[in-house]
Amino acid sequence: MSSTTTATPVPAAPGLFAPRLRAMTVGSVALISLLAFEALAVGTAMPTVARSLDGLALYGIAFGGSFATGVLAMVVSGIWCDARGPRGPMWHGVAWFVVGLLIAGTAPVMSALVVGRAVQGFGSGLLSVALYVIVGQAYPQELHRKIFAAFAAAWVVPSLVGPAVAGLIVQYLGWRWVFLAVPAVAVPAVLLIHPGLRSLGRSTTTGPPAGAAARIGWACGAALSAALLHIGGQQRGASAVVLIVAAVVGLLVCAPRLLPAGFLRAARGLPTVVGLRGLASAAFVGAEVVIPLMLSRERGLSPTSAGLVLTVGALAWSVGSWLQGRIPVPASRASLPRAGLTCITVGTATVALAVRPELPVSVAVLGWAVAGLGMGLLYPSLSVLTLELSAPGEQGRNSSSLQLGDSLFAATVLALTGAVLAAGSAPGPASYMLTLVVAAGLALLGALLAGRVVVGGSTRPLG
């Protein structure tokens, strides 16, 4: 008599919209979208705001102040998440974000709007790190690539429609509603997350991690340097040089204390992960600010047509994020980062060729699409690696480092790019070529270092 055995079916992994994760996913993606929309919409509305409030003198600090408080908040949020869990930073982040928007939206003078923007930036910094820690604690490892792909899409979609929507709001409702409309969505979004937050365990530590006070002190120095860098990037002449040099020196002193040990020498593991994120961000942003100017001045495109090239890159970014969440798990941790940075290198170098008038503009379009695809492959995979390489009590600090490196690298390159373009009477082909070649070089450096995300020769795949 033969016997048969019945294999026990392996339960399928839950999806992002499984019952216990559905509200958490919708709320988290909505919050990311709001942070992205507000960051992009303010740039569209600010010229009108400055004219309305007669505050052109404070125009730079309205951006630099928000950026600086965001840098400080990322560090505070990382310490807080590791000490007490992500619930406190999440709720406080939403509160600061909403209050800052209300202050800015009702500001009677430009100085009040600057205060509102600073408060809003602090809330954004708290939220951005807390959301990463929530992913590490609430989602199973096999879903990390997919949820970070959703986060990437939540940034890309506002980049497509945010400026246009903000322009319509300014034109038909008034600039104040660019600030005042967002809280109506932010509060319901965090309420969706609330039930899932209650299920997360609290940290077992009894107080702040060792060195927390010193870390906050260095964060204050980095925040001040970041503000000077942002303001200096909007100046011209000797004042720009003085501010940028002072800011870069300040960042060189403060930033290494906030990033993983071994960051400057690209030590294996997390230091390289953080470095790759910074290099990619610097390369992409450095090229992105040059492309519309180059295509408008050198190739005669209208501002709308030049902007559509950036839209192609944003769409390709979304496609890359979608692909990395669905392709088979790569054999090595280094595969997706290396592929992404290679695409950014090739794409940016291709865009640089479009400086030559004998080549069609389609060369720039194709190049920027390849670069956007690379960003989509890279960003979520580095976020996954950060959580994979973090012990439970280090997720906040390491997520903070990842986002700090991203922000500070991008801000530095933006300021230096602005200085290059401002040199001389007007930017020309040589200036565009120089900035795009530097951007491609940063991405190439990242591609060459990508293998160092692997620790101890391990080729264990991403989760």
For residue 378, being part of any structural domain is answered with yes
- Residue 389 domain boundaries: 260-454
For residue 2, the one-letter residue type is S
Place 226 in a pLDDT band, splitting at 50, 70 and 90.
Answer: confident
Inform me whether the pLDDT recorded for 373 exceeds 90.
yes
For residue 416, being part of any structural domain is answered with yes
C-alpha angle 220-155-226 in degrees, rounded to nearest 5: 20
Arithmetic mean of pLDDT over the chain: 84
How much is the pLDDT for 422?
66
- For residue 396 the two structure tokens come to 């906040």
For residue 120, the one-letter residue type is Q
Inform me whether the pLDDT recorded for 449 exceeds 70.
yes
Percent of the chain's residues with pLDDT above 90? 28
For residue 111, being part of any structural domain is answered with no
How much is the pLDDT for 123?
93
Rounded Cα gap, residues 457 and 251, in angstroms: 32
Inform me whether the pLDDT recorded for 348 exceeds 90.
yes
List, in order, residues 6 or more apart from 309 with CB less than 8 Å away.
Answer: 291, 292, 295, 364, 365, 368
Q: How many domains does the chain have?
A: 1
For residue 247, being part of any structural domain is answered with no
Place 93 in a pLDDT band, splitting at 50, 70 and 90.
Answer: very high
Region 86-96 average pLDDT: 91
For residue 253, being part of any structural domain is answered with no
For residue 35, being part of any structural domain is answered with no
Place 155 in a pLDDT band, splitting at 50, 70 and 90.
Answer: confident
For residue 391, being part of any structural domain is answered with yes
Place 204 in a pLDDT band, splitting at 50, 70 and 90.
Answer: low
Place 427 in a pLDDT band, splitting at 50, 70 and 90.
Answer: low
Place 1 in a pLDDT band, splitting at 50, 70 and 90.
Answer: very low
pLDDT in tens, 280-293: 999 998 888 888 88
Region 58-86 average pLDDT: 86
For residue 370, being part of any structural domain is answered with yes
Rounded Cα gap, residues 426 and 21, in angstroms: 53
- Per-residue burial over 223-262, b if 16 or more Cβ lie within 10 Å, else e, is bbbbbbbbbbbbbeeeebeebbeebbebbeebbeebbbeb
Q: What is the DSSP string of 53-115?
A: TT-GGGHHHHHHHHHHHHHHHHHHHHHHHHHH-SHHHHHHHHHHHHHHHHHHHT-SSHHHHHH
User: Residue 411 is part of a domain; what is its CATH number?
Assistant: 1.20.1250.20
Q: What is the DSSP string of 326-386?
A: TSPPPSSTTHHHHHHHHHHHHHHHHHHHTTSTTS-THHHHHHHHHHHHHHHHHHHHHHHHH
Name the burial class of residue 460, with classes exposed (0-12), middle (13-18) and buried (19+) by CB atoms within 10 angstroms of its CB: exposed
- 336: nearest Cα among 285, 282, 277: 277
